[in-house]
Structure 1
Amino acid sequence: MEEYRLHANLIEKYLQKDAASFTREDLIKYIVDHKIEMVNFRYAAQDGRLKTLSFYIYSLDYLKSILTYGERVDGSSLFSFIEAGSSDLYVIPRYKTAFVNPFSEIPAVDILCSFYTNEGKPLESAPEFILAKAHQYFNQVTGHVFKALGELEFYVIATKDEQFAPTNQKGYHESSPFIKYNDFRNQAMQLISQCGGKIKYGHSEVGAFSDEEYIYEQHEIEFLPVPIEQTADQIMIAKWVLRNLAYQYGISVSFAPKITIGKAGSGMHIHMLAEKDGHNQMLENGKLSDVARKMIAGILSHADALTAFGNTTPLSYMRLVPHQEAPTNICWGDRNRSVLVRVPLGWTTEVNMAASANPNVQTDSPSKPEKQTIELRSPDGTAD
């Protein structure tokens, strides 16, 4: 169908259906039709990294079995709070997360998994289940779907190149040749999209400097709002892609909140919105709604706990200093990048800006996009 021609996820494009509706039979069809030889189960452990359990597919029955029943793993090696005396867990694949592995030399499909106990129940302490349960409770109490997106900031660290050096701390939206690794970031965006990530855009960020040996380029990849569980999956996969691609390039990437004093730190800002019946509930008559204001109040009242989870190392607090576009006070404001919660521009104007920018071209006036979010600016890349 025409609507799937631009989809980046190769399985979606082939099956002509959204990943959310993938079935076991869909994945079997793709694997058989494309001569896929391996299936990799992926799951996040306590350290936030994607772990891997690989299966070489030797028969249709074996493929059906692992897709249906999953496999057994040692939970005590994945989570410090699980004792070795009773540590067996099941990892069960979530079909909607399947993607073609862009790095495997052997054709492979990877699938994110959930943890289950010996009784066949979700592991209550698994971060993925805690998030899903919290979202379910939010939906039951409010009737809203909680959507979010992450802004993933990182530094590329590579051997110094003297040609067309960027201006110190002036890398924001800079272009080649002053920024050397735009192509790296763009390729990462392509691969993340093929792995199921919904990306809004990417660009170079403020941080741009060098020392005697290396250049340090700051970049950002920002996602689109999706249900909160998918937000976490996207960020996790994006880090995995960036690290693998950097390894291929022979460079390093760092999600550390602070590289050095006096230079721009890297955050992982989280935008969020509440949705009901498919419509964004953050605005009412062009202004912040009561729903949005209640969300802001909730964030401010729990700022200490959110900071503990979102800023987990001493380096985190070297980033949260004045004059670095980072929050230092528990407050909120419109378009202010130094507050804890920012209300960014949300396309609330009635002006047809496309018509103004293109005066000789007739443009229609479609309904305004429902893009308003609120942004929590404290978290950083240590919030695995």
Structure 2
Amino acid sequence: MAKTITADDIRQSVADNDVRFLRLAFTDINGTSKAVEVPNSQLEKVLSNDIRFDGSSIDGFVRLEESDMVLYPDFSTWAVLPWTDSQGGKIGRLICSVHTTDGKPFDGDPRNNLKRVVEQMKTMGFSAFDIGFEAEFHLLKLDENDNWTTQVPDHASYFDMTSNDESASCRREIVETLESIGFEVEAAHHEVGDGQQEIDFKFDDALTTADRVQTFKMVVREVARKHNLFATFMAKPLQGQAGNGMHTNMSLFKDGKNVFYDKNNEYHLSNTALYFLNGILTHARAITAIGNPTVNSYKRLIPGFEAPVYISWASKNRSPMIRIPSAEEINTRLEMRSADPTANPYLLLAACLTAGLDGIKRAEMPMDPITSNLFEMSEEKREELGIKPLPATLHSALKAFKADKLIQDALGKHLSSSFISSKELEWSQYTQTVSDWERNKYMGY
């Protein structure tokens, strides 16, 4: 069990490490990390939940007349970042939940919302929702003005052993940096696409893992810049190349035991796991809006690049939406392969957990697992098996979200309304944009 970090521990760490600035991080509706940074002279205000900020300037938070918000740091997230200010002093980081001025958790904070859903899980007798994220990313070259390009630093492929190229050395430094701030990195390797990377860190409870994804993205971007590279978690940054997924490995625990495991059942999956799985499949289209929240996300969810397109599940087969990896008892899990790293991790896990718990309550078995390649299966055969497609556009996914009361409840009224507004605006802007492809295709008409 991790050591509890107290206010005194943080005071001592600030003194021992010459921490000169304190970065108070939180997350907006779109999954973008935000921060208020204060000098160490404000440490006592930080530790006593007395740092305020203007919430009206944050996407999906509040209107101008309701602007004051308060940051409540989670002491367990304390980390001394491995880079310094201009004078050589260190920066300390705390992940915060957002509260209103009367001390109540703010409904529009994605982190608060995940905590709410986890508490609902505990009322059902479960102790932990454990998550392992596999967030892929691309490294791209910078131009002479430090702007990103679509040029890649390597042309390696899946698990290629490259020793001295720009990507490999950057990837190694990312791993070392993550380990220096407490991550347990389990694997790092090149992915399928040119310039595409994956670094996997140890699974943990939902809130801790969501926090770590946000930290992971920050570290990847910072270290990439040191190597004159640009890191992107965009779902499909390069046409004709594999996109970036964020495979979401889920398991449920009770009294220290993984309730998804049953040695006597096929695939060693318990009935609880199968009910949970059915809940995810039942609400898959609405979950897709959250797990694949950008216009670009749907350029990854196409046949031919190992990303799922159909609502289904399987054991070894990688074409369905959910796969059951071979694993021993503690690691028995469901791997949802559809989400991408542009997703807000707090919202994604709240939606998945809510859908899964609803599946457990309903106690209904999922469809039969798929044993053949879905991409090679005829449309008639898919219809016969009851296999439906995932949404093909953000617009379709948003329609599914608006029609699914359970998944809206998973986010709560404030976040659901903000999410719909944000995504409707994004879709509207996209439909009004004229692309180079359109000009090249139609200018001669």
Query: Is the pair's TM-score, using the shorter chain for normalization, greater than 0.5?
Result: yes
Contact 1:333 1:342 in 2 (8 A): yes
Q: Which amino acid aligns with 1:182?
A: A
Contact 1:271 1:375 in 2 (8 A): yes
Aligned length: 330
Q: Which amino acid aligns with 2:54?
A: D
3-state SS in 2 of match to 1:150:
strand
2:301 pairs with one of 316, 320, 324: 320
Q: Distance in 2 between matches of 1:290 and 1:165?
A: 45
Q: Distance in 1 between matches of 2:91 and 2:155?
A: 40
Q: Per-residue deviation at 1:165?
A: 6.7
Q: Per-residue deviation at 1:92?
A: 1.4
Q: Per-residue deviation at 1:63?
A: 2.5
Instruction: Identify the residue that residue 207 of structure 2 maps to in structure 1.
Output: 229
CA deviation digits over 1:199-236, x for unaligned, max 9?
3211111112xxxxxxxx11111222211011111111
Q: Distance in 2 between matches of 1:149 and 1:70?
A: 33
Higher mean Cα deviation, 193-202 or 79-88? Answer: 193-202
- Structure with bigger strand share is 1
CA deviation digits over 1:232-289, x for unaligned, max 9?
1111111111111112211111211112333111101100001122222221125111
Instruction: Identify the residue that residue 18 of structure 1 maps to in structure 2.
Output: 2
CA deviation digits over 1:28-87, x for unaligned, max 9?
1222233322222111223423222222224xxx53332113301001111334110121
2:316 pairs with one of 326, 329, 335: 335
Matched, 1:344 2:325: yes
Q: Which amino acid aligns with 2:131?
A: A
Higher mean Cα deviation, 251-260 or 85-94? Answer: 251-260
Instruction: Identify the residue that residue 204 of structure 1 maps to in structure 2.
Output: 190
Point out where structure 1 has 5 or more consecutive residues left out of the alignment: 1-16, 209-216, 348-368
Higher mean Cα deviation, 336-345 or 99-108? Answer: 99-108
- Structure with bigger helix share is 2
Instruction: Identify the residue that residue 298 of structure 1 maps to in structure 2.
Output: 279
Q: Distance in 1 between matches of 2:203 and 2:154?
A: 35
Q: Per-residue deviation at 1:314?
A: 2.2
Q: Percent of aligned pairs with the same residue?
A: 29
Q: Per-residue deviation at 1:329?
A: 0.8
Instruction: Identify the residue that residue 172 of structure 1 maps to in structure 2.
Output: 158
CA deviation digits over 1:279-320, x for unaligned, max 9?
222211251111211111111011011100011122211111
Matched, 1:100 2:80: yes
3-state SS in 2 of match to 1:102:
strand
**1:65–1:245 distance in 2 versus 1, CA, 3 Å:** same
Instruction: Identify the residue that residue 213 of structure 1 maps to in structure 2.
Output: none
Q: Which amino acid aligns with 2:336?
A: L
Matched, 1:189 2:170: no
Matched, 1:243 2:203: no
Q: Per-residue deviation at 1:179?
A: 5.6
Q: How does 1:105-144 map to 2 (within 5 A)?
A: 105=85, 106-144=89-127
Contact 2:321 2:337 in 1 (8 A): yes
Contact 1:225 1:272 in 2 (8 A): no
Instruction: Identify the residue that residue 353 of structure 1 maps to in structure 2.
Output: none
Q: Distance in 1 between matches of 2:315 and 2:18?
A: 52
**1:66–1:166 distance in 2 versus 1, CA, 3 Å:** closer
Contact 2:30 2:343 in 1 (8 A): no
Contact 1:196 1:234 in 2 (8 A): no
3-state SS in 2 of match to 1:128:
helix
Contact 1:311 1:380 in 2 (8 A): yes
**1:254–1:63 distance in 2 versus 1, CA, 3 Å:** closer
Contact 1:38 1:109 in 2 (8 A): yes
**1:107–1:260 distance in 2 versus 1, CA, 3 Å:** closer
Q: How does 1:7-156 map to 2 (within 5 A)?
A: 18-19=2-3, 21-58=4-41, 62-105=42-85, 106-156=89-139
Instruction: Identify the residue that residue 241 of structure 2 maps to in structure 1.
Output: 263
Instruction: Identify the residue that residue 335 of structure 2 maps to in structure 1.
Output: 375
The TM-score normalised by the length of structure 1 is 0.81
Contact 1:257 1:265 in 2 (8 A): yes
Q: Which amino acid aligns with 1:183?
A: S
CA deviation digits over 1:171-213, x for unaligned, max 9?
11111148641221121122223334343211111112xxxxx
Higher mean Cα deviation, 92-101 or 241-250? Answer: 241-250
Q: Which amino acid aligns with 1:18?
A: A
Q: Distance in 2 between matches of 1:314 and 1:48?
A: 15
The TM-score normalised by the length of structure 2 is 0.70
**1:81–1:100 distance in 2 versus 1, CA, 3 Å:** closer
Q: Which amino acid aligns with 2:304?
A: H
Instruction: Identify the residue that residue 231 of structure 2 maps to in structure 1.
Output: 253
Contact 2:128 2:254 in 1 (8 A): yes
Q: Distance in 1 between matches of 2:44 and 2:238?
A: 51
Point out where structure 2 has 5 or more consecutive residues left out of the alignment: 143-148, 345-445
3-state SS in 1 of match to 2:136:
strand
Taking only aligned residues, the RMSD between alpha carbons, in angstroms, comes to: 2.2
Q: Distance in 2 between matches of 1:325 and 1:50?
A: 29
Contact 1:98 1:110 in 2 (8 A): yes
2:263 pairs with one of 277, 285, 292: 285
